[in-house]
Structure 1
Amino acid sequence: MTDHDERPEHGADEGTEPTQPIRPSVGDSWQPPVNQPPPGHWHTPPPLTRPMTPPAPTYLSPYPAAQPPAPPRGRVSHWLWPAVAGLALMVGVVGGAVGAALLDSVADREPTGGVSEGLQGVDLETSPPLAGGNRSVVRVADRLLPSTVQIVAEFDNTEGGATGSGFVLDRQGHIVTNNHVVESAAEGEGPIEIVDQEGNRYDAEVVGRSPVYDLAVLYSREAAALPPAALGSSIELSVGEPVVAFGSPLGLSSTVTSGIVSALNRPVTTGESGSDPSYINAVQTDAAINPGNSGGPLVNLRGLVVGVNSAIATTGSGLGGDRGNIGVGFAIPIEQVRITADQILKTGEARYPVIGAKVKTGGSGDGAGARIDSVMPDTPAAASGLEEGDVVTEVNGERVTDGISLIVAIRTYRPGETIEFTVVRGGDEQVVSITLGAEVG
């Protein structure tokens, strides 16, 4: 039996222009006003701190003073335009430099092919391709095959490598697949290609991966010309509902198989020996899924993607010594795909919820719940009052039968959410509220 550690890694006022002194019209009896300069002399007004009104002149004439003409409108000095132009040029240069710095900063933060707004910043297909009454696998295949790709990931400088499947997520050129399809190539910096229905091959690169959810997002500029698949909802599925699986089993591209939904919310753990396991709250199907189908879409009869094919159950070796389909396949629910893809597009990585406690994930249990083996200090579990020996029987009202089902249940939520554990402690049942922590993976 193995323990699963859910512990985080610790944790001037506005003024008018000054007016020139008013020089009244000249008359036969005109004399210079008292305290005013003689004709022909212009007086320089004192500095202004607010709008100035010229003082009323005093006249020595017995006649009424002539009304002064309206002051001339302000006129821009001839030297001001070059100054403004120079200032504008300076602002433009500085603004350009600042803009370039910001772009460089964004480029440093975002992964290649990343989108800072996540799924809100890409063009998804939101309309069902087919009417609700459709019952034709032929029509589903016709609509979805152009959106399905084969993925060839080379590594260790060898050709061939891992071959899997994927589907077009949006009109920007992003592809969804499984992490295990591209993991070795990504870690070894090997080339990755996608192959469309017509056999055209395009270079692709990894935007980000999540080993925990066994999902990855790729980017290929040429894939922007391929039609995106429409995303549906797995929670609307019913057991027995027809579904269609797309992919490249055994390297056979553009393969279509059909079947039904065999079960929902099936706790499944996957992962090869020595690799990080991924825990899936899976959609189970009997549609034929074989090696190479991984990362391909599972689709309902309205042509909506409801899951990503990820794993199969086997009884041993099959044809040619490779494990093959026995009618028990598992797909990652599309709701989880949306969450993980959104995180990867934003930051290049995915975050998953943790509580900071260990539970047993191996061996056969009695189905009574998940026993807490240990609680780490300074974790959400410790802060909530969860204790060693507690048996968790429900998460937000959903039954928990063992350690794997507890981990899967927790991972259907997001970091920062508060959930309720129903716990049996010393024979007594109580409810414990836990605010989920987060780790990258």
Structure 2
Amino acid sequence: HYASNSGDVAGQPVDFTSAAESGVKSVVHIKIKKAGKTITAPVWDPFADFFGGGGQQRMQQYKQPDIEGGGSGVIISNDGYIITNNHVVAGADEVLVTINTRNTFTAKVIGTDPQTDLAVIKVEAKNLPAITFGNSDEVKLGQWVLAVGFPLNLDATVTAGIVSAKGRSIGINQRQSNRAVESFIQTDAAINPGNSGGALVNTQGQLVGINSAIASPTGTYAGYGYAVPANLARKVADDIIKFGDVRRGYLGAALADLDRITEKEAEELGVSKTDYNNGVGVYVSDVVKGSGAASAGLKKGDMILAINGVPTNSSAVLIEQVARYHPGDKVQVDYSRSGKAGKIHVELKDQKSTEQLTAVQGGGAQALGALLKPLTKQEAGTLGVDGGLSVVEVGKGELASTGVKPGFVILSVNDQAVKSMAELKSALNGAQGMVQLSGTYPGNRGQYFFSFPYSGDSRSSVE
């Protein structure tokens, strides 16, 4: 994520002290409280048999205990604006912020963006030590970075590691939004619960990411942490401060990562053998009529190679690049059509005028009245399964009748494992009247089963 410089690459002499000192000054401790809800529940009266009433139930009100939580945040302006994660402050009735001087302030939530899991809060204070933003596009693999935050209810803590991957999508933001934007910086700097919303800085102390998630079977540090790139975080924060919400441009194209689909599926999608064998770029599997992509001349079968000169080797990177721009902005799209390179300029439109998802990774297709995508290997590993199909969006059709929500992962259809669109179609072709799906929701234990009558039409459109 982040501005590289001499001494930033692991193996070279490097001094972390200055970066750690400036990072600690700009990172805050956030504590939140959610008031317990009052619920009404039936209570069985065991004495009613003795004193009359026949042991009838009566209704009684209970107040659930308050919920307390916390995380970290980063001061981005001298007058009190702070960026953090949406999941840190979502639903909070009270937000308290403690800065490096140990002064505590009540904060106001200015706005949130579940798609990126970011939020902006504000405290009434002056002359705060705002962090300096770095350029997350210049980050290099192997570059030293520091994670700064308040893990495990400890005081400000600094850990060091390297950037171990870029453009990672792990599916975690789909819990909050069916239009998740994920292109994380992956680092092996230790990140634990409480680090969420804290800073990932380079050796100059510049912000290169907002720490957001970890990959762990236990819920604590297990080797890999993930941060939202600073360039995207800055755009989101600027929008929230200026408009109160995030105004995000959309291409209006469905996309497929070629490394996540088989050669047979690529052939079904219409990918040329030349482009499939090259394996560079992101395949356009569909273009929405009237969208910016369609108006500019982008076509089904094109391979998008770069957005404004930034290489797009995965749909996660492409989505993140587009998400930095507003409706009405024009972006240059470098593409390949049957092996021939070209350039076009696309005017992005807003979400309401883009009637389909910007991108569906892994050869997304309309099926059962829903948009589905195959799990990545990393997503499957996190769930402890061999593979499956994630429900990205539910429209009109058979699946809607079951109550399935976006984020649900289909693991089998009529006891037949499904890990790709081809396997789903095969399972549905053998269906006789009724279909039973089994699967799970990320973050929830247990398996869910849904049954519905199947008409044989798997092309219901999503609205």
For normalisation by structure 2, the TM-score amounts to 0.57
Question: 1:133-212 to 2 correspondence within 5 Å?
Answer: 135-157=14-36, 159-185=66-92, 190-197=93-100, 199-212=102-115
1:313 aligned to 199, 206, 215, which one? 215
Once the 2 structures are TM-superposed, how far is the Cα of residue 404 of structure 1 from its aligned partner? Answer: 3.0
Relative to structure 1, the CA distance from residue 299 to residue 397 in structure 2 (aligned partners, 3 Å threshold; closer, same or farther) is closer
Q: Quick one: distance in 1 between partners of 2:336 and 2:15? A: 49
Q: 1:296 offset after TM fit, Å?
A: 0.5
State the shift of 1:402 in Å.
4.2
1:282 touches 1:332 (CA, 8 Å); kept in 2? Answer: yes
Provide Cα deviations, 1:370-403, integer angstroms capped at 9, x if missing partner: 3334332222122122233444344345443443
How far is 1:284 from its partner?
2.5
* Residue 294 of structure 1: how far off its partner (Å): 1.2
Report the alpha carbon displacement of residue 350 of structure 1 after superposing the two structures with TM. Answer: 1.5
Q: Kindly tell me: are residues 395 and 299 of structure 1, through their superposed partners in 2, closer, same or farther at Cα, counting changes over 3 Å?
A: closer
8 Å contact kept, 1:371–1:402: no
Q: What is the distance in 2 between the residues matched to 1:200 and 1:235?
A: 35
1:289 is aligned with what amino acid? I
Aligned to 2:175: 273
User: For 1:228-267, what aligned pairs fall within 5 Å after superposition?
Assistant: 228-266=130-168
- The answer as to whether partners of 2:165 and 2:187 remain within 8 angstroms in 1 is yes
Rounded Cα–Cα distance in structure 1 between residues aligned with 2:118 and 2:31: 16
Matched with 1:300 is 202
Cα distance in 2 for residues equivalent to 1:233 and 1:274: 27
Q: Which runs of 5+ in 2 are unaligned?
A: 1-11, 37-64, 263-278, 353-463
How many Å separate the matches in 2 of 1:395 and 1:304?
25
> Any conservation in 2 of the 1:232–1:306 contact (CA below 8 Å)?
yes
The one-letter amino acid of 1:335's match is: N
Q: Which fold has the larger relative contact order, with Cα–Cα distance below 8 Å and residues 6 or more apart in sequence?
A: 1
The 2-side partners of 1:219 and 1:242 are apart by 30
Paired amino acid for 1:175:
I
Partner of 1:37: none
- The whole-number CA distance in structure 1 between the counterparts of 2:132 and 2:229 is 14
State the SS of the aligned residue for 1:142. Answer: helix
> Could you tell which deviates more after superposition, 337-346 or 152-161?
152-161
Q: After TM superposition, give the deviation of residue 425 of structure 1 in Å.
A: 4.5
Which residues of structure 1 form unaligned runs of 5+? Answer: 1-132
Residues 358/264 of structure 1: CA separation in 2 closer, same or farther (3 Å cut)? closer
Contact 1:270–1:277 at 8 Å: present in 2 too? no
CA deviations over 1:108-140 (Å, ceiling 9, x no partner): xxxxxxxxxxxxxxxxxxxxxxxxx99443443
Q: Which residue of 1 aligns with 2:393?
A: none
Kindly indicate whether the alpha-carbon contact (under 8 Å) linking 2:132 and 2:206 is maintained by their aligned counterparts in 1: yes
* 2:229 paired residue among 333, 338, 344: 333
- Find the aligned partners of 1:362 and 1:393 in 2 and give their Cα distance: 12
Report SS of the residue matched to 1:351: coil
Amino acid paired to 2:90: E
Q: Say which of 367, 380, 384 aligns to 2:296.
A: 384
Deviation at 1:346, TM superposition (A): 1.3
* C-alpha contact 2:173 2:182 (8 A) present in aligned 1: no
Letter in 2 for 1:287: A
Quote how far apart the aligned CAs of 1:324 are: 2.3
Q: How many angstroms apart in 2 are the aligned matches of 1:427 and 1:299?
A: 40
- For residue 76 of structure 1, what is the aligned residue in structure 2? none
Match of 1:120 in 2: none
- Over 3 Å counting, the alpha-carbon distance change for 1:406 and 1:339 in structure 2 is closer
CA RMSD of aligned residues (A): 3.2
Q: Which segments of structure 1 move beyond 6 Å, counting only runs of 4 or more?
A: none
Q: 1:338 offset after TM fit, Å?
A: 2.4
Alpha-carbon distance between aligned partners in 2 of 1:298 and 1:424, rounded to the nearest angstrom:
35
Indicate if the aligned counterparts of 1:418 and 1:433 stay in contact, CA closer than 8 A.
yes
Specify whether residues 249 and 353 from structure 1 end up closer, same or farther in structure 2 by C-alpha distance, changes over 3 A only. same
Distance 2:35 2:178 in 1: 20
- Look up the match of 2:445: none
The structure that is strand-richer by fraction is 2
Q: Is the 8 A contact 2:78 2:127 kept in 1?
A: yes
> Match for 1:408 among 320, 323, 327?
320
| 1:356 maps to amino acid | G
* Match of residue 43 from structure 1: none
Identity %: 35
Note the 1:410-425 alignment, pairs <5 A.
410-425=322-337
**Distance verdict in 2 for CA 1:283–1:156, change over 3 Å:** same
Q: Does the Cα contact within 8 Å between 2:95 and 2:106 map onto a contact in 1?
A: yes
Cα shift at 1:405: 3.6
- C-alpha displacement at 1:239, in angstroms? 3.1
In structure 2, C-alpha distance between the alignment counterparts of 1:166 and 1:300, rounded to whole Å = 17
Distance 1:164 1:378, change over 3 A: same
In 1, Cα distance between equivalents of 2:166 and 2:284 = 26
Q: Which has the larger radius of gyration?
A: 1
Instruction: Report the CA distance shift for 1:376/1:241 in structure 2 as closer, same or farther (over 3 A).
Output: closer
Q: How many residues are aligned here?
A: 298
> What's the CA shift for 1:307?
1.8
Determine the C-alpha separation between the residues in 2 that align with 1:145 and 1:414.
33
Write the distance in 2 (CA, Å) between the matches of 1:277 and 1:250.
30
The answer on whether the counterparts of 1:134 and 1:301 sit within 8 Å (CA) in structure 2 is no
